[in-house]
Amino acid sequence: MAYVALYRQWRPKSFSDLVGQEHVSQTLAQAIETGRVGHAYLFSGPRGTGKTSTAKILAKALNCEAGPTPEPCGVCESCRRVNEGTSLDVFEIDAASNRGIDEIRELRETIQFAPVNGRYKVYIIDEVHMLTAEAFNALLKTLEEPPAQVVFILATTEIHKVPATIQSRCQRYDFKRIAAEVIAARLRYVADQSDIAAEDAALSLIAQGAAGGLRDALSTLDQCAALAESVVTEQLVRDILGLVGREHIEKSLRAIAAGDAPAALSVVAEVVERGRDLRQLTVELIRELRAAMVYQAAGEAAGREMTSTSSEMLAEEAALFSPEAFAPMIGRLNEVLGELRWTTEPRIAVETAFLSLCRPVAAGLEKAAAETGTVGGPADEARLAHLEKQVAVLTAQLAARAAAVSSRPGAPAKRPLAGGRTVAAKSAPLAASSSRLAVTPEGQDLWQKLTESFQGDVKYKPLHSCLSGGKFGGMGDGVFQVLFSSPFLRTRLERDDYRQAIEARLAELSGQSWRFITAAGEKKLPDPPPPPPRRKDTGVKVDMASLPPEGRRSLEKAVEMFGDHFVPIEEAERQRAEAVAAAEKKTLSGAARRENHSAANRQNDVSVSAEDIDFPPLDDVPLPEDDDAPLPED
């Protein structure tokens, strides 16, 4: 005998066989018993939840020789013919392939004839939402004046596409997604009856993957049984469904809980190496966090509803996090799922999320400590040590990434070590790329949105101030350029974390990824009349007598303030560039110091303002005239 697929073999034969749709089967069975059968039914619900099976059971129940009965015998000629699809009174129409007016006209012509063998003529129209507007109109006329002894059963996965006029003429039944544990129990029954050896965890995993559809679950079990050597194992199911390994999920959770960024990143690397989908990793992590969260909140039974994870493991995972930690983590991972739809760099999106997940946990710990007032105890010291370690790791990573990024074309070059040679080299790639860049209205628009998007955001206050000092310089070939007349602002914005924040925001606003670059722009104000000493800048000696009276006065004032040491303008530029580099270095180490300091501070006081954490020290901000200083590239 030919092999019959499990889902066909185990198709429900009576209302009592219907799995997970008791609200539907009980009502229909009662209608048949009391003789109150409607003229039209509308079955809606996700695929594989039993709509067509129910329609066929209803058809058999109405026409069974022993009926009408909620328990059709399944052996009389009428029942057999329905099962085989050869009944002259039961018509199955697939609206996905017969969606036109002709089919419905034909239906209207034949509908007037009395049933051939049975009591009722039953029309089952599958995927009814696919019908054309004309076909719906023709169907509506039939539904308005249905001949006696005709029953319509319309089935759809997309109820919102079925016109309201049709819906209002039908008794509507909504088929639910079947709960994973109900599917798992059914799979266990089918496996036992079919002599398929299978691990419980494997069946549970299949059930979760079926998204509430029993038919899909049975198909997967079929496939797994065919490929299994002797027993359907959890690992086999993972392989067939392309799921991420259990160990990866556990490792991710532990790393995140411990704030162990390197371990979290290594999970991403391993998943990529094994050719698994990062989206899948994210989805499974969300499910696992959900399970741990629900376990913590509502106990074992609720927690295990949607997971194959063992109770012991779930208890362990739930203990890793505080109750308020779950929602932000799940929220962040859901964001990544959104990003993964359009990004060309899924790995970066997932890595960024993993790193950010490693940090808020630390913040949550501090908060808990502050709330309970248990400050200064040995536990706090341990936490503090842990936090300090994290800060050190993150700072090192940031530095490593900054170093890697600076070798990218178009990225900020290292500050010159000697002379102005490196400065010249820095502007070369920018000049090359600016030929491809165009200042378009869309670009202007995006630029405006970009600056506005950082406005009022306390975290990005310094970034926003810097950005506001720039001017849109064109975009093209995946590059978004902003011009700065102030080298200081430009240098600041080239900071790695700022650039990443800007690039992320650009992607968010435009739906595509951009590389953010900066270039020297024109000065905003018209040049003031050149000060007299500039005409003398080739020499180091200045002849005061040769100057016009006005220029002489200015110069005398300058000498009074700064002394009479004159240097050539190139030399002055070099010195200034060095000073900026030194200031930048100072800011970086200052920021690291402050971060350490503020981590310690927050331990005692959670009300430390964002300024204290993120902003550069005031003494690093140059005086306003810096904006008008000559540009090093000139």
Please say which residue, 61 or 198, places its beta carbon nearer to Zn ion: 61
Q: How far is the CB of 31 from Zn ion (least distance, A)?
A: 18
64 part of the interface to Zn ion, by CB under 5 A: yes
76 part of the interface to Zn ion, by CB under 5 A: yes
Q: How far is the CB of 76 from Zn ion (least distance, A)?
A: 3
Helix (H, G, I), strand (E, B) or coil at 228: coil
The secondary structure of the chain in percent helix, strand, coil, rounded to multiples of 5, reads 60, 10, 30
Please say which residue, 50 or 72, places its beta carbon nearer to Zn ion: 72
Q: How far is the CB of 205 from Zn ion (least distance, A)?
A: 38
Laid out side by side, the sheet with 470-476 consists of: 470-476, 479-484, 515-520
Q: Confirm if 179 and 173 have CB atoms less than 8 A apart.
A: no
Q: How far is the CB of 250 from Zn ion (least distance, A)?
A: 53
Residue pointed to by tokens 């102005």: 420
Distance in angstroms (rounded) separating the CA atoms of residues 6 and 8: 5
- In angstroms, the Cα distances linking 51 to 11, 15, 18, 175, 634 are 11, 12, 10, 7, 75
Please say which residue, 79 or 555, places its beta carbon nearer to Zn ion: 79
| Buried-exposed string 90-104: b where 16+ CB fall within 10 A, e elsewhere | bbbbebeebbebebb
358 part of the interface to Zn ion, by CB under 5 A: no
CA dihedral 29, 33, 36, 38 (to 10 degrees): 30
Q: How far is the CB of 149 from Zn ion (least distance, A)?
A: 18
Instruction: Report residue 437 CA to chain centroid gap.
Output: 31
Residue pointed to by tokens 């000629």: 77
Stretch that binds Zn ion, among 51-59, 77-85, 139-147, 176-184 (CB under 5 A): 77-85
80 part of the interface to Zn ion, by CB under 5 A: no
57 part of the interface to Zn ion, by CB under 5 A: no
Stretch that binds Zn ion, among 67-75, 92-100, 240-248, 296-304 (CB under 5 A): 67-75
Please say which residue, 81 or 215, places its beta carbon nearer to Zn ion: 81
Please say which residue, 28 or 42, places its beta carbon nearer to Zn ion: 28
62 part of the interface to Zn ion, by CB under 5 A: no
- In angstroms, the Cα distances linking 256 to 246, 294, 320 are 16, 18, 9
Q: How far is the CB of 85 from Zn ion (least distance, A)?
A: 16
How, if at all, do strands 479-484 and 470-476 pair? Answer: antiparallel
Q: Confirm if 473 and 434 have CB atoms less than 8 A apart.
A: yes
- Residue 438 DSSP symbol: B
- Among 55, 79, 131, 138, interactor with Zn ion by CB under 5 A: 79
Please say which residue, 85 or 331, places its beta carbon nearer to Zn ion: 85
32 part of the interface to Zn ion, by CB under 5 A: no
Q: How far is the CB of 51 from Zn ion (least distance, A)?
A: 22
Q: How far is the CB of 14 from Zn ion (least distance, A)?
A: 10
Q: Confirm if 278 and 268 have CB atoms less than 8 A apart.
A: yes
Other C-beta atoms closer than 10 Å to the C-beta of 3 total 8
Distance in angstroms (rounded) separating the CA atoms of residues 634 and 463: 26
Q: How far is the CB of 77 from Zn ion (least distance, A)?
A: 8
Please say which residue, 14 or 219, places its beta carbon nearer to Zn ion: 14
249 part of the interface to Zn ion, by CB under 5 A: no
580 part of the interface to Zn ion, by CB under 5 A: no
Number of residues that bind Zn ion (CB under 5 A): 5
Other C-beta atoms closer than 10 Å to the C-beta of 131 total 28
Distance in angstroms (rounded) separating the CA atoms of residues 615 and 319: 36
Please say which residue, 59 or 150, places its beta carbon nearer to Zn ion: 59
28 part of the interface to Zn ion, by CB under 5 A: no
Q: How far is the CB of 60 from Zn ion (least distance, A)?
A: 6
Please say which residue, 76 or 355, places its beta carbon nearer to Zn ion: 76
Stretch that binds Zn ion, among 62-70, 119-127, 332-340, 429-437 (CB under 5 A): 62-70
Distance in angstroms (rounded) separating the CA atoms of residues 217 and 205: 10
Stretch that binds Zn ion, among 66-74, 91-99, 564-572, 574-582 (CB under 5 A): 66-74
Q: What contacts 113, CB < 8 A, 6 or more positions away?
A: 121
Stretch that binds Zn ion, among 36-44, 68-76, 443-451, 568-576 (CB under 5 A): 68-76
For helices 278-298 and 346-358, angle between their N-to-C axes, nearest 10 degrees: 30
Stretch that binds Zn ion, among 27-35, 40-48, 76-84, 230-238 (CB under 5 A): 76-84
Q: How far is the CB of 178 from Zn ion (least distance, A)?
A: 27
Q: Confirm if 45 and 51 have CB atoms less than 8 A apart.
A: yes
73 part of the interface to Zn ion, by CB under 5 A: yes
Please say which residue, 69 or 427, places its beta carbon nearer to Zn ion: 69
Please say which residue, 64 or 369, places its beta carbon nearer to Zn ion: 64
Please say which residue, 46 or 74, places its beta carbon nearer to Zn ion: 74
Q: How far is the CB of 28 from Zn ion (least distance, A)?
A: 16
Q: How far apart are the first and last CA of the chain?
A: 87
Distance in angstroms (rounded) separating the CA atoms of residues 590 and 586: 6
Distance in angstroms (rounded) separating the CA atoms of residues 610 and 417: 35
Interacting residues with Zn ion (CB under 5 A): 64, 72-73, 76, 79
